[in-house]
């Protein structure tokens, strides 16, 4: 007769199970199906794009840099010739500026028309700031000065090469200006350059005779 244990406990002992074998060390093997998914279709495209991005980043890091973009030098000889020949006033132009001054823009408007004639000459200064010569026979003078200087109130006079110029300043634009008003012409030198550099440009301005040879339009070395 067999007697059963009410608690469900038997006299039999259970041998402990052997521990599971640890996976063998070494390189992981990728099944052909997984490899195909990684190298083709969307997975392959993504990996190729990542490789291109990494390569492009390396090229940018190791590529030599030439510095900031340089504005092209402008040749304003044609505009100056036209002004000297046909302007209703005697124009002014810079002469003898050091080589570090570089013209970058020139615009001539109104020539051959009934309205005012204006000439703009933009330059880069030795301190890499901006300076411009603006001149016109526009009347009334006040409106022209407001557009060129962005200010209506002069700060006071400044002597430049024996001539009296008026200072203007627009704080929010960091714009300084020197203004000289002649009977038939208004001269403005303006920009982000200091008053000292603007004075150098103003001092270089010389009245141009009609006809004759055009002075050098490139700064001297």
Residue 45 domain-assigned (yes or no): no
170 bridge partner residues:
175
118 bridge partner residues:
109, 136
| Residue 145 to residue 140: CA distance in whole angstroms | 9
The pLDDT-based confidence of 53 (bands split at 50, 70, 90) is: confident
Residue 194 domain-assigned (yes or no): yes
Residue 17 domain-assigned (yes or no): no
The pLDDT-based confidence of 49 (bands split at 50, 70, 90) is: confident
The pLDDT-based confidence of 47 (bands split at 50, 70, 90) is: low
Tens digit of each residue's pLDDT (9 = 90 or more) over 190-211 = 999 999 999 999 999 999 988 7
Residue 165 domain-assigned (yes or no): yes
Whether the bond between 140 and the residue before it is cis, its omega within 30 degrees of 0, is yes
Query: CATH code at 97?
Result: 3.30.200.100
Tens digit of each residue's pLDDT (9 = 90 or more) over 123-142 = 999 999 999 999 999 999 99
Number of domains making up the chain: 1
Residue 169 domain-assigned (yes or no): yes
Residue 164: pLDDT over 90? yes
Residue 215 domain-assigned (yes or no): no
Domain that holds residue 169: 77-207
| Residue 146 to residue 179: CA distance in whole angstroms | 11
pLDDT of 70: 75
pLDDT of 162: 96
pLDDT of 101: 98
Question: For residue 144, what are its two tokens?
Answer: 């022209």
Residue 218 domain-assigned (yes or no): no
The pLDDT-based confidence of 2 (bands split at 50, 70, 90) is: very low
Q: How many C-beta neighbours within 10 Å does residue 122 have?
A: 19
Phi, psi of 90 (to 5 degrees): -85, 110
Tens digit of each residue's pLDDT (9 = 90 or more) over 20-45 = 555 555 555 657 666 666 566 666 66
Residue 181: pLDDT over 50? yes
Of the listed ranges 2-16, 26-40, 160-174, 207-221, the least confidently predicted one is 2-16
pLDDT of 131: 99
Residue 175 domain-assigned (yes or no): yes
- Could you tell me if 95 and 209 are in contact, meaning their C-beta atoms sit under 8 angstroms apart? no
Phi, psi of 204 (to 5 degrees): -80, -10
Residues constituting the chain: 221
Question: For residue 13, what are its two tokens?
Answer: 């002992």
Averaged pLDDT, 69-81: 90
| Residue 42 to residue 40: CA distance in whole angstroms | 7
């Amino acid at each position: 007769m067999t007697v059963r244990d009410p608690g469900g406990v038997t006299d039999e002992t259970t041998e402990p199970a052997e521990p599971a074998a640890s996976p063998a060390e070494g390189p992981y093997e990728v099944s052909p199906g997984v490899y195909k998914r990684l190298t083709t279709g969307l997975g392959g495209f993504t990996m190729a794009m990542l490789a291109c991005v990494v390569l492009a980043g390396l090229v940018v890091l190791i590529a030599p840099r030439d510095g900031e973009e340089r504005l092209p030098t402008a040749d304003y000889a044609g505009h100056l010739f036209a002004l000297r020949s046909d302007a209703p006033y005697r124009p002014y132009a810079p002469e003898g500026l050091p080589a570090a001054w570089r013209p970058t823009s020139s615009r001539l408007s109104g020539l051959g028309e009934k309205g005012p004639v204006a000439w703009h000459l933009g330059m880069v200064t030795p301190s890499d700031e901006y300076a411009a010569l603006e001149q016109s026979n526009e009347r009334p003078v006040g409106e022209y000065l407001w557009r060129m200087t962005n200010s209506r109130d002069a700060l006071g006079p400044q002597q430049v090469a024996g001539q009296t110029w008026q200072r203007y300043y627009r704080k929010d634009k960091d714009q300084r200006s020197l203004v000289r008003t002649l009977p038939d012409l208004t001269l403005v030198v303006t920009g982000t350059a200091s008053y000292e550099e603007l004075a150098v440009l103003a001092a270089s301005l010389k009245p141009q005779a009609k006809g004759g040879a055009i002075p050098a339009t490139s700064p001297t070395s």
